[in-house]
Structure 1
Amino acid sequence: MRRTALVALLAAGTALSACAYNETLGRNQFLLVNDSALTQQADAAWAEALRTQRISSDAAANARVRRVGDRIVQAAGLSDRRWEYAVFVSDSPNAFVLPSGKIGVTTGLLSLVRNDDQLAAVLGHEVGHTVAQHAAERYSQTAATNLGLGVLQGAAGDYAQAAGAIGGLGAQLGVLLPFSRRHELEADRLGVDYLQRAGYRPSEAIALWRLMAQQRQGSNPEFASTHPSDASRIAALEQYIQSQGWA
């Protein structure tokens, strides 16, 4: 019990020392690491994607992603780093931005979006994750949760396996998944800021998510999903855009 209490105190002390205020988000963040600490892993993931996935040789598609991406990156204040772009051949509409300065877009997404404004909405959202240090925050949150579950299992004796399973589910539904939904909504808001600043139409962010909702084939209920429901996301975007006078 003394050991358990000591570990708990150390975990609490670590949590307190890792809190920092993020002016962009207007809230405190729990960060055991920062994005620079994740650069090596991000670069390795990028190299693996380039090695294992089919890359589009469509010059027009690649130029389009770079053109829109460069405008969003500049609007987000991240033009001080070297950015790399790639278009991956996949029917699934998707995009991602790595903290080390890598942007990937699928051909499925380029086929889905109806204009550059909607592409800018996607890239703005993904760049928003980088500016907000969501990857580092997610990593830190997961690490702290795993530490807490280790303490729980250590104190549970013969019931450690059951406690771990129940605790893991509780932590996932009660902490990690809702936290990820918060990240998504924050990235939506930042993405709209960047696309507006870059000269694109904020209203197209709403049109984009309506398109995404139409093509989605079933989804988990919001309480058990890492992403907000399409309805929640669209409502939040409509409210934010109207509050900024951009409607």
Structure 2
Amino acid sequence: MSRKPLLLALAITTTVLGAGVGACAYNEALGRSQFVFVDDSALIQQSQAAWAETLRTQKVSNNATQNARVRRVGDRIVQAANLTNRPWDYAVFEDSTPNAFVLPSGHIGVTTGLLGMASNDDQLAAVIGHEVGHVVARHAAERASTTQTAGLVLGAVQSQAGDYGQAVQAFGGLGAQLGVLLPFSRSHELEADRLGVDYMAAAGYKPSESLALWRAMAAGRQSGTPEFASTHPSDQTRIAQLQQYIASRGWN
């Protein structure tokens, strides 16, 4: 078996990583450096288009009480996170699946299923705090940068691998996904959990209610996906780490 594909992969990886040194920036909220070369303005533009498409294609709730609740809690969390320098928009979507999402453009969506599961505003603050944490942490830009880098390396190797191209695509792609992209995603989720309870506490909500929410989510979840192959940490991992962090801050 020729060593050419392997040597080429190492050369490309070295080049990409060398170029990435200039794209590393320190994120004070996370206490670590990030590899980010994706332009934030491009992400925001794409996010605005995605938000408009979501509003057009998904059923938005007109329930005034639900929408006011999300905005009230959201505005307090945004203020606690010092993100009032940008406009924020919220929407409640009629969907029985408990879910929420955030876009870098400052848009937050929450489903009616999640609102029903969050039995008080503290628990809703845990969700919105988590989502806002992703924005402060620049996780979207970091994940996009990591994904594009992995794709560049694998694509270049495949184009020069000759008879081994199919094997590289099958095993190389899976290796990048399980070894780089998915674990990084799980790391992002745990970081957002920690930032979220920071913002909860700063906004006057009770951080321990985040544990009650995640336990309720775990009880209602029906997923057999093992943690090593999931973009989210297992419920047990998330709850244990969050409980430890809350205790270390002396919160209840």
Q: Which runs of 5+ in 2 are unaligned?
A: none
Matched, 1:134 2:134: no
**Could you state the TM-score of these two structures normalised by the residue count of structure 2?**
0.94
Say whether 1:16 aligns with 2:5.
no
Is contact 1:34-1:133 (8 Å) kept? no
Which string of whole-angstrom CA distances, capped at 9 and with x for unpartnered residues, describes residues 134-168 of structure 1?
A: 00000000000011112321332111122111100
What's the secondary structure of 1:139's corresponding residue?
Answer: helix
The residue that corresponds to 1:179 in the other structure is 184
Inter-partner Cα distance in structure 1 for 2:102 and 2:248:
28
Q: 2:207 maps to which residue?
A: 202
Match of 2:222 in 1: 217
Secondary structure of the residue aligned to 1:179 is helix
Distance (whole Å) between structure 1 residues aligned to residue 13 and residue 235 of structure 2: 38
Question: Post-superposition shift, 1:16?
Answer: 1.5
Partner residue, 1:64: 69
Q: Deviations over 1:157-189 (max 9, x none)?
A: 111122111100011111111000000000000
* Paired residue secondary structure (2:101): strand
| Native 8 Å contact 1:36 1:99 kept in 2 | no
Residue matched to 2:58: 53
Instruction: Output the CA distance in 1 between the equivalents of 2:113 and 2:13.
Output: 47
For residues 226 and 171 of structure 1, what CA distance do their matches in structure 2 show? 13
The total of aligned residue pairs comes to 247
Q: For 1:20, what is the secondary structure of its paired residue?
A: strand
Q: Distance in 1 between matches of 2:14 and 2:213?
A: 46
In the TM superposition, what is the alpha-carbon distance from 1:9 to its structure 2 partner?
Answer: 4.7
Identity %: 67
- Find the aligned partners of 2:103 and 2:60 in 1 and give their Cα distance: 17
Query: Is the 1:8–1:151 contact (alpha carbons within 8 Å) kept by the matching residues of 2?
Result: no
Q: How far did 1:6 drift?
A: 6.5
- Where 2:131 maps in the other structure, the secondary structure is helix
- Does the C-alpha gap of structure 1 residues 223 and 7 become closer, same or farther in structure 2, counting only changes over 3 Å? closer
Kindly provide the amino acid, as one letter, of the partner of residue 105 in structure 1. Answer: V
Write the distance in 2 (CA, Å) between the matches of 1:127 and 1:179: 18
Unpaired stretches in structure 1, ≥5 consecutive residues: none
Equivalent runs, 1:23-102 vs 2, <5 Å: 23-102=28-107
AA aligned opposite 1:30: F
- Determine helix, strand or coil for the equivalent of 2:60: coil
The Cα of 1:80 is off from its aligned counterpart by: 1.1
After TM superposition, the score normalised by the length of structure 1 is 0.96
CA distance in 1 between counterparts of 2:164 and 2:15 reads: 24
Distance 1:6 1:245, change over 3 A: closer
RMSD: 1.6
Residues 180 and 6 of structure 1: CA distance in aligned 2, closer, same or farther (over 3 Å): closer
